[in-house]
Structure 1
Amino acid sequence: MARPRSAGYDDQRELILARAAHLFAQRGYPGTSMNEVAEACGMSKASLYHYFRDKDDLLVSIADGHVARLEALVDQVLAAHPPGEGRARALIERFVEEYADAQNAHRVLTDDVRFLPEATREAILARERRVVDGFAQTIAELKPALGKDGLSKPLAMLLFGMINWMFTWLRPDGALTHADMGPIVADLFFGGVGAVKAPGKAKPRAAAQRGAKRITEKET
């Protein structure tokens, strides 16, 4: 008979994932032991195994959970916003804000998924590809010619290049927050450097229209 779960089981599991993600991000997956994870969580190693069967199980839960949240976020934005610049901006801003509380998980996904068995790694990468496809679809909707020319996905990857590595330089206690950076990334993507404005400042209507026109105008 299976051992019943305690009332705080899910909360404890999330705490373990957060502490493990921090350790993996700081020390690397190979350099972190289950003993160290247990110590960071204030529990015995035996108790830790009640929640996760081994270190691979921890890594899968961190990486797959992170990508699953991103995938769900794409689905939510696509369902809530019609095709257009508003949808693309919502995707960008929501992703940047999501990364504010997922920096350790994202570093683990970037650096440590390679240590997983091939089938498990491919399942996680397939989720990542669906996230990229959601962005590429949104870009192609703005300018269909980009999709026909095979450029919507490369543009999506360039956009992710701005977003994904933000954790390497954006300090949690710095002058700019993730909430500040979301609109900045969107402005830069749509209108270039000239369209970027400081946080809290309203964008002039003419500049906003020019930024939208650059990416949405039809080819002649």
Structure 2
Amino acid sequence: MAELLPNIDVAVSVELVEFLERMARLGEESDKFEVERHCIHPGQRRTDIVNFRLIGESIHEGHGFQLIAYDDRPGRVNVEMRAARWLPDPPTKAVYIEAARGLAGELLRQYNREFGSRYRLRIGARHGKAFAMSELTTTLLERFTILANTSSLHFYDWQRFYALVRESRQEIPDYLLRSHLTKAGFSTQRAVELAEIYMHLWAFKKLR
């Protein structure tokens, strides 16, 4: 069973969007990251996301992290570590925390030096039991993976993928979804892309 990974966030005193933009700029100027900005704003609530993809070498394939700010959680920015393939995969809690301190933590220290702040990563255990996939989620996932054209999804494949989000009451952890997709025959890159789409769809679903 995969080890339970911790929640990581940063308590900030400035506007969330301003903090994200400052971090994005620092990431770009460092020449260490490819930076992507996203905003999900389907209604009254808004979610801002900044992706930091590591350019240099790492023991983890496709390594990076995300900063996520929900406008209904003022003063809090979530930090989520990403990798197309971890070493080991899935990552242990210790490996995940080390990655957070090495990437997000280092950029945050640079932020503190430039803006005279004292922000830090807040690392805490997730509440509850380890993730256990329900029968419904398992059925929906298998329906998609077994029937999908792994090289090029067609219309009905996408319908089954959307159903995995729409009909399930569980959000599958990123690393676990990627593992299932690669085992089903998807390339590592395609599994990462689908996992990111899945994450954005769930973010939209939570705003409803």
TM range (shorter): under 0.3
More helix by share: 1
Highest Rg: 1 or 2?
1
TM-score, normalising length from structure 2?
A: 0.26
TM-score normalized with structure 1 length: 0.25
